[in-house]
Amino acid sequence: MPPGAVAVLVSAASLLLLGAAPADGPTAPPLPTRMADTGGGTQLITAVAPDTGSTTGTVTWWDHEGDGHWVAAGSAPARFGSGGLADGPTRVQGTSTTPTGLYDLPYAFGIEPAPPGTAYRYRPVREDSWWCQDNASRSYNRWTEPRPADCRAAEAEHLVTYTAQYAHALVVGFNYERPVHGRGAGIFLHVNGRGATAGCVSVPKEAMRRILRWAEPGQRPHLAIGTEGGATAVTRY
């Protein structure tokens, strides 16, 4: 075998594993065009993991151009729940899994000021800002200021204490509009912490800042979470 042939073969094999087409072959269509639903807007964020057991993957944000094509505006490495990913409608709270599905993004928040150019409604985190995850509370899966008496501190997140993760974040509309108690609460797209999340999707801080500057509420951005294939494939949502 001639020198360098092994490297060429390995590179070609890697491209095939990643789903990339050969240089002289057809270009794979953008991910949003292969999805069952994108939320009806002209902006989309996809968070894709190799499989449900994965804790890492890729977040990509997309624009739907006037010519009808989806174009990637940026991408970043992503982290998922320490328990991997789980089907959103059947997810169980406390499993540290990231719920798959297609979700709206109600508003943004952060301990730090919104990045310049942010158009999304951005709620500042204060000392008395909490996210209630208490299944017995009427404030389940809601931001509260202050924490209500029926929401136990042990079953809520004191947002200001997550200085890295909640420097900037977007609320994910999982189990949000009509919360089902026990399904899960407090799912966000936020800044990376030290490792896998408790069920959220996280990205590096600069990527989160770029997403906030990019997102336009009038374009109705959604977040699609899923795997590369199988029952929880992102293309099925």
Tokens for 88, please give them. Answer: 């959103």
Whether pLDDT at 28 is above 60: yes
Would you tell me how many other CB atoms lie within 10 Å of the CB of residue 139? 19
Amino acid 15: pLDDT? 34
Q: Do 56 and 86 meet the contact criterion of CB atoms below 8 Å apart?
A: no
Question: Sign of the CA dihedral 190, 206, 209, 159?
Answer: positive
CA distance 235 to 237: 6
At 29, the pLDDT band (50, 70, 90 cuts) reads very high
Q: Report which of 188, 185, 191 is spatially closest to residue 200, judged by C-alpha positions.
A: 188
pLDDT tens digits, 154-176: 999 999 999 999 999 999 999 99
Has residue 196 been placed in a domain?
Answer: yes
Has residue 4 been placed in a domain?
Answer: no
Has residue 148 been placed in a domain?
Answer: yes
At 24, the pLDDT band (50, 70, 90 cuts) reads low
Mean pLDDT within 53-76: 96
At 201, the pLDDT band (50, 70, 90 cuts) reads very high
* Alpha carbon 121 to its chain's center: 18
**Domain span at 159:** 31-236
Amino acid 66: pLDDT? 85
Has residue 136 been placed in a domain?
Answer: yes
Alpha helices of 28-152 — where are they, by DSSP H? none
Question: Sign of the CA dihedral 35, 188, 178, 135?
Answer: positive
Has residue 202 been placed in a domain?
Answer: yes
Residue, of 191 and 1, whose pLDDT is higher: 191
**DSSP characters over 30-48:** PGGGGSS---SSSEEEEEE
Residue, of 1 and 154, whose pLDDT is higher: 154
Has residue 144 been placed in a domain?
Answer: yes
Whether pLDDT at 11 is above 80: no
Has residue 5 been placed in a domain?
Answer: no
| pTM of the complete model | 0.89
Q: Report which of 84, 131, 135 is spatially closest to residue 107, judged by C-alpha positions.
A: 131
Has residue 1 been placed in a domain?
Answer: no
Tokens for 79, please give them. Answer: 């982290």
Tokens for 127, please give them. Answer: 């000392």
- 157-193: b or e for each residue (b if 16 or more CB lie within 10 Å)? bebeebeebbbbbbbbbbbbeebeeebbbbbbbbbbb
Report how many domains make up the chain: 1
Side-chain-facing half-sphere of 139: CA atoms under 13 Å: 19
Whether pLDDT at 1 is above 90: no
